[in-house]
Copies of this chain bind each other. A is one copy, B any other.
Amino acid sequence: MTRRSSEVATSRAPRERMTIEERREQLLRVGRGLFLERPYDQVSMDDVAQRAGVSKALIFHYFTTKRDLYLELVRRAAKELVEATFVGEDRPPLERLTTGLERYLDFVEQNERAYVALLTSGVGADPEVLGVVESVRKTFADRILASIPPSETSHADIAVRGYVGFVEHASIAWAQNKKMPKAELIELSIKALIAVLGLQLPGR
């Protein structure tokens, strides 16, 4: 386990007076860095304390358990993803879809290791973590369902849930071996949705 010099420097910086909010953010930042470096099981609250340059007692003032800290990181990432992929409801359906997918894949690119680890390696997998992931999937499905005419297709909910699964699994494969251009993956995803909904989207 080698640490980059900038991180060593940070951890050895003289202890600063931080507000409660700043300290909380610092601990989350340090925790995120550690969870990205090594498997969940190999990160301890001692590691977090050491790298943040604070006592273990102080950490437990902010996060009761390691899982607590991890869950907060997952919740934040989920919130960030949901916000980053929101496209105004005034835009036509096809543009909303395409722009949403573009932003989704941008997020996947920027958070590649965390994204793949969360969905494939069981890092910290527990009902609450999965609950957060599931609520993101549901948000995406609801957004799409809200943008298609209800009479247009039967059982659209099942088709759209499948489509969300398509994007998730295809984007994992894409992140692991990025030989397909992003635009092509977006095109594929749109084709899949149009096919399963039997739709002619405006603008197509």
Contact = CB atoms under 8 A, between A and B. Distances in A.
Interface in A146-204: 154-155, 157-159, 161-170, 172-174, 177, 179-180, 184-185, 188-189, 191-192, 194-196, 198
A165 B161 contact: no
A183 to B, nearest CB: 12
Contact of A170 (B130, B158, B170, B184): B158
Nearest to A174: B158
Contact of A127 (B122, B130, B180): B122
A69 interface: no
Q: How large is the interface on A (under 10, 10 to 19, 20 to 34, 35 or more residues)?
A: 35 or more
A72 interface: no
A125 interface: yes
A120 interface: yes
A134 interface: yes
B170 A168 contact: no
Contacts of A167: 162, 165
A19 interface: no
Interface of A: 120-122, 125-127, 129-130, 134, 137, 154-155, 157-159, 161-170, 172-174, 177, 179-180, 184-185, 188-189, 191-192, 194-196, 198
